Amino acid sequence: MIERLLTGTLLVATLASGAVAAENGEELRVKITKELPSVTVEHGGEPVTIRRDQDPEARIDDEYARTSRNCPPFCVQPMQLLPGVTTIGEIEMLEFLRRKSEGDDSILVIDSRTPDWVARGTIPGAVNIPWTRLHRGASTYDPFLVENLLIDRFGAELDGTVWDFRDARTLVLFCNGPWCGQSPTNIKALVSMGYPAHKIHWYRGGMQAWQSLGLTTVQPE
């Protein structure tokens, strides 16, 4: 099976084994860090290797090259979103993805964007839970679906009317970037429900920062 990946603006194909070779079989020249050339994670049941685009002429997608959008709703988000919520960068995101792919079921990486945005590409290993699922003001909000989501996907328990989050998963959320309110909306909704802030990590840079570094993205099936 061939997994089609979108790396920055470069469309590449890689074997499902997850092995991504540099051009002409040479060592990757554009690494993630000096010691870390790539990270292999699981996405949709298949291994995907995350690396940086090797083309020195590659450019970020036009959608993420835009500097100005109307605010509201596209307002600049603070670095510290809520007390207790940890803001992370790409290296920390990759570590969460690696741990998850190696069987750490206590971690869930969430793309908080609506499906139209996700269709343009997402981070390998992430699952899509749009902000409209958790936000009470959204037209698609359904409290029964939220309850099932908290129990089945997030690992929370409901004792009568009281939520128990002691064994709930560590959540890592992202959206489009510092100007995007979709993951902040999800995070605020979860904290308002009682989800422990220390169990939530926020990749503030989102897809804009991810693509600006030429890191691999996948398109949903």
Give the separation between CA 102 and CA 2, rounded to whole angstroms: 22
* 157/198 same-domain check: yes
Please work out, in degrees rounded to the nearest 5, the angle formed at the alpha carbon of residue 173 by the alpha carbons of 109 and 119: 80
Phi-psi region of 133 (alpha: psi -120 to 50; beta: other; left: phi over 0): alpha
* 105/164 same-domain check: yes
Residue 98, C-beta contacts closer than 8 angstroms, at least 6 positions apart? 39, 41
* 92/169 same-domain check: yes
Write out the residue range of the structural domain in which residue 8 sits: 2-56+212-218
How much is the pTM?
A: 0.87
Domain membership flag for residue 62: no
Check pLDDT > 90 for residue 25. no
Q: Provide mean pLDDT across the span 39-52.
A: 94
Check pLDDT > 80 for residue 21. no
Question: Omega of the bond prior to 178 within 30 degrees of 0, cis?
Answer: no
* 199/140 same-domain check: yes
Check pLDDT > 70 for residue 16. no
Domain count, the chain: 2
Give the separation between CA 45 and CA 113, rounded to whole angstroms: 21
Q: Provide mean pLDDT across the span 128-136.
A: 95
* 42/142 same-domain check: no
Check pLDDT > 80 for residue 53. yes
> Dihedral of the CA atoms 108, 109, 113, 114 (nearest 10)?
-50
